[in-house]
Amino acid sequence: MRQIIDERTGGTVRPPCGAEPHGATMRIAAHVTVLHEGDPARRIMEVVDGAVMLTKLLPDGRRQVVELLGPGDVFGLAHADAYACSAETLTPATINTHERGALERDPVLAARLLRRFEAQLCVMHSHALVLGRMSALERVAFFLLRLMPDGMVGTTLHLSMTRQEIADFLGLTLETVSRAFSELKRRGLVVLQRADEVRIQDRGSMRRLAGAA
């Protein structure tokens, strides 16, 4: 329960005191749980900087990482006034929070969120295709391409997720993810400088594997 402890020790994770009109920015350490699935949904949040993952749990403990968020992405969504997902930082992050009521009062904010929701919904659609129809190797290839912006070709990508977190994102087990990394390495599509530092060697083959991501 690393994240719980961190949340208590890392004092940055308090809701702002309320003096702000409707926005407040906070700086949060890595591996901190910002929101808990099921808690009353009072605020909506924007990632300014860093990476955040949203997770859902089944009663028996099975976990799914449902979304990976970066700068600009929005979280803290509610179903029946409760947060639908837990949110945990993957890296140190800067997060902007708004009271939910601000959505009605601030049309500029609403317009920004609308655009962002559309983008996130499209990403979720792609992810459904990945989870529903792709093999383990294809999923991992897709995952790596998704993290590697087209511009930075040949550069080294730092994964800020463990094999378990990647597995929970891709609907696999950590062993299967590890085997997929080894297979991609064996085929010469990627190079692993360390377990969490990847370089894509053959982007064409990766794209083909991932089904033109």
- Residues in touch with a copy of itself (CB under 8 A): 54, 56, 58-60, 62-64, 66-67, 77-79, 84-85, 103-104, 107, 110-111, 113-114, 117-122, 124-129, 131-134, 168-171, 211-212
Q: In terms of CB distance, is 43 or 127 closer to DNA?
A: 127
Tokens 């308090």 map to which residue? 14
Taking the complex as a whole, the smallest distance from the CB of residue 55 to DNA amounts, in Å, to 15
CB 78 within 8 A of CB 84: yes
**If DSSP states are collapsed to H, E and C, what string results for 27-76?**
EECCCCEEECCCCECCEEEEEEECCEEEEEECCCCCEEEEEEECCCCEEC
Among 74, 87, 90, 172, contact with DNA (rule: CB under 7 A): 172
Q: In terms of CB distance, is 128 or 195 closer to a copy of itself?
A: 128
Among 23, 72, 92, 171, contact with DNA (rule: CB under 7 A): 171
Taking the complex as a whole, the smallest distance from the CB of residue 172 to DNA amounts, in Å, to 4
Taking the complex as a whole, the smallest distance from the CB of residue 163 to DNA amounts, in Å, to 4
CA gap 41, 19 in Å, rounded: 19
Residue 136 binds DNA, judged by CB under 7 A:
yes
Q: In terms of CB distance, is 123 or 192 closer to DNA?
A: 192
CA angle 36, 40, 86 (to 5 degrees): 20
Q: In terms of CB distance, is 7 or 73 closer to a copy of itself?
A: 73
Q: Tell me the three state secondary structure of residue 212.
A: coil
CB 4 within 8 A of CB 18: no
Q: Tell me the three state secondary structure of residue 168.
A: helix
User: Where does residue 79 rank: exposed (0-12), middle (13-18), buried (19+ CB within 10 A)?
Assistant: exposed
Q: In terms of CB distance, is 113 or 157 closer to a copy of itself?
A: 113
Per partner kind, with CB cut-offs from 5 to 8 A, the member of a copy of itself, DNA, none near residue 176 is: DNA
Taking the complex as a whole, the smallest distance from the CB of residue 77 to a copy of itself amounts, in Å, to 5
Taking the complex as a whole, the smallest distance from the CB of residue 186 to DNA amounts, in Å, to 8
Helix or strand (DSSP H, E) at 191: strand 190-194
